[in-house]
Structure 1
Amino acid sequence: MKSKHDSSQIAERCDSCADETPHVVSIEIRTENEHAENSAFSREPYRISTCVVCGAETGQRMNDQ
């Protein structure tokens, strides 16, 4: 049986929609302090989740889990 959601989407709670909705989830490397002298070394992986219904995006630093 095939899921009604694309395989790249996952159902998660969306605070904006106040419901569980499909989200596109990806990993992104972000520079945390672009103005610092060592900004090239202050990059961290973030889990980015975007609601397919309303477009709300959340990012969570992976090392904080």
Structure 2
Amino acid sequence: MPPLDQIPAAELLTSTEVGQIIHKSSRTVVRLVEAGEIPVLGKLAGPNGPYVFRRSDVEHYAADARGAQR
């Protein structure tokens, strides 16, 4: 996996943005990360550093979740 600074900014998402895509709260997104259910690129530095996600991973997760609901 390339370092975060080598991934185009348009490809990176925050927990809030992921929540909007999968129709869940940002806190639920964090729970999904902690449960290992959604892929995450990493966590930014600091005690409250946000998780960072790759858009393509989130879109794939969302498609899989929609398929599982049917």
Smaller-chain TM-score bracket: under 0.3
Structure ID, larger Rg: 1
- State TM-score, norm by structure 1: 0.28
- State TM-score, norm by structure 2: 0.26
Comparing both chains, which one has the higher relative contact order based on Cα–Cα distances under 8 Å and sequence gaps of 6 or more?
2
Higher strand share: 1
